[in-house]
Amino acid sequence: MPKPNPRHPNFPIPGGPELRAKGWRQEALLRLLENVLSVGEDPDNLVVYAALGKAARNWPSHRAIVKTLIEMDEDQTLIIQSGKPVGLLKTHAKAPLVIMANCNIVGQWAKAEVFYELQRKGLICWGGLTAGAWQYIGSQGVIQGTYEIFMRIAERRFGGDLSGRFVLTAGLGGMGGAQPLAGRMAGAAILCVDIDPERARKRQQVGYLQEIAPDLDAALAMIDAAVKEKRALSVGLVGNAAEIYPEIASRGIVPDVVTDQTSAHDLVYGYVPKGMSIEQVRSLREDGQGQLMAASRASIVDHVKAMLDFQKKGAEVFDNGNLIRTQAREGGVANAFDIPIFTEAYLRPLFARAIGPFRWMALSGEESDIARIDDLLLEMFPDNRIITNWVRLARKHIPFEGLPARIAWLGHGERTALARRVNQLVASGELKGPIAFSRDHLDAGAMAHPNIMTERMKDGSDAIADWPLLDAMLLCSSMADLVVVHSGGGGYAGYMTSCGVTVVADGTKAADERLDHALTNDTSLGVIRYADAGYDESFEEIAAKGIGHVKV
């Protein structure tokens, strides 16, 4: 039975042993669609996160998707075009159940203004990364990546942890909301600025944010006390980062680490310019887009100039993937890209081995299923420090949102081994229901984004989008249950293409085959992608694990 959802009463959390669809594969995808809305920011408008990232194009499309998933047979494939179901075709039982293409606009037309016009006409919607692919699991979906970034910084600059260090950031939405808890788990005193008081309250309610300061003076005093005591603390401050960051800089205060995860990617539906209320911004979104874009970009200029000032004074400053540097450069900040992107700066050696954000969701709705898989992780990978450290921290600190889920940075071979063992646990009845396996789109072979994932690749292949397209075709050939190709919408239009995948462990031999082929081939391509760009770690992985790389 579905569970009540206190945050969104009209969107209960799915679960239970009863099937509405004809099989667990179909039921699994239906529950994942329900889940992204149950944990979404604005489910009444089908928005999951990032201001515009939607689970379906509109409510008629959503209802048609639900009806089709319930009625379809296992030898059929549902085709979804930008959140709208357009076909149910006879394929075969080993084919994907759902194939999606969301927000892919022809190159010369892939601009924010074109996207907004297509959206107004009801012809397109942006799936974000995991929103439109029904793979979002709440803020936990990005928290380990955020934590690993902080820990790489700690190792590089601060002796291994962030105790006694001040982290300044902004943005408490569906992605940025992971920051306060990740910073606290890394030992830091972290100050998180957001313009929306509701977002701050939500993060506090779910346990991600400890305190909300009444003003900047109080916030800085709380941070200062925690730094002196080397006490981990997360503090929220309601305000505009474009005003708060320069004010902190003007006081001569230099945080140890500075970043930002506001919705700077979208100048209309995401970022809020300084001097404007949220209500004023909403009133301009339809008829005042030009004014709003100009005001947002001007604020981002001040925002990034303050970040560069912190960097010049010795802070570790990085871009967390929201295009804030790109917007600033277009606004006239010529040196905006002096700020490095997090992928290149901290995580590329992991991605070169196809180690990335893998995730799984307990379709039963039972937390005990995730607890058992946590135990299994510790049993299977006792020497993997990233995994063992993360599982213990996650168990202690991370509350579940929606369907119980976990994320862990597993690499080639590890993902497949875990998933197949879990499938055995489903078959034996040790777990109370099937498990859906997925991953973030920000994965080794799954994303081309020259200002985030593929910035400054060793061979200069930053803008080549072949890899996520190859990944999607490979995953269809490898019997995955859901395969999707996404491109950017809103301010991300023209900047990215990515591939997503979901495979369901329902305890059957057929699931074992799907998991083996899809997960193994997905990470194989990731390693090959980085080997093609010349990364030594990838060649080591190929040699050690016998990946079928063709040398030219």
Tens digits of residue pLDDT in 251-272:
999 999 999 999 998 899 899 9
Same domain membership, residue 335 and residue 374? no
Q: Are 202 and 181 in contact (CB under 8 A)?
A: no
Q: Using alpha carbons, select from 83, 78, 80, 79 the residue that is nearest to residue 45.
A: 83
Same domain membership, residue 306 and residue 169? yes
Same domain membership, residue 382 and residue 239? no
Low-confidence ranges of the chain (pLDDT < 50): none
Same domain membership, residue 534 and residue 392? yes
Same domain membership, residue 517 and residue 425? yes
* Residues facing residue 485 across a β-bridge: 101, 499
Q: Which two tokens stand for residue 127?
A: 């799936």
Q: What b/e sequence results for 352-375 when a residue is b if at least 16 CB atoms lie within 10 Å of its CB, and e otherwise?
A: bbbbbbbbbbbbbbbeebbebbbe
> Which of helix, strand or coil describes residue 385?
helix
Same domain membership, residue 306 and residue 356? no
Same domain membership, residue 324 and residue 353? no
Domain stop point among 313, 340, 367:
340
Domain stop point among 308, 340, 372:
340
CA distance 51 to 451: 20
Same domain membership, residue 427 and residue 369? yes
Quick check: is 531 in a domain? yes
| pLDDT tens digits for range 220-230 | 999 999 999 99
Domain stop point among 298, 322, 340:
340
CA distance 484 to 472: 7
The CATH number given to whatever domain includes residue 374 is 3.40.1770.10
Q: Are 432 and 506 in contact (CB under 8 A)?
A: no
Domain count of the chain?
2
Quick check: is 124 in a domain? no
CA distance 48 to 364: 22
Same domain membership, residue 429 and residue 303? no
Quick check: is 392 in a domain? yes
CA distance 452 to 488: 12
Scanning the structure block, which residue is given the tokens 């301009």?
284
What integer pLDDT is reported at residue 118 of this predicted model? Answer: 97
| pLDDT tens digits for range 508-532 | 999 999 999 999 999 999 999 999 9
Quick check: is 33 in a domain? no
The CATH number given to whatever domain includes residue 296 is 3.40.50.10730
Quick check: is 241 in a domain? yes
Residue 167, domain extent: 140-340
Q: What b/e sequence results for 116-139 when a residue is b if at least 16 CB atoms lie within 10 Å of its CB, and e otherwise?
A: bebbeeeebbbbbbbbbbbbbbbb
CA distance 165 to 37: 36
Same domain membership, residue 297 and residue 212? yes
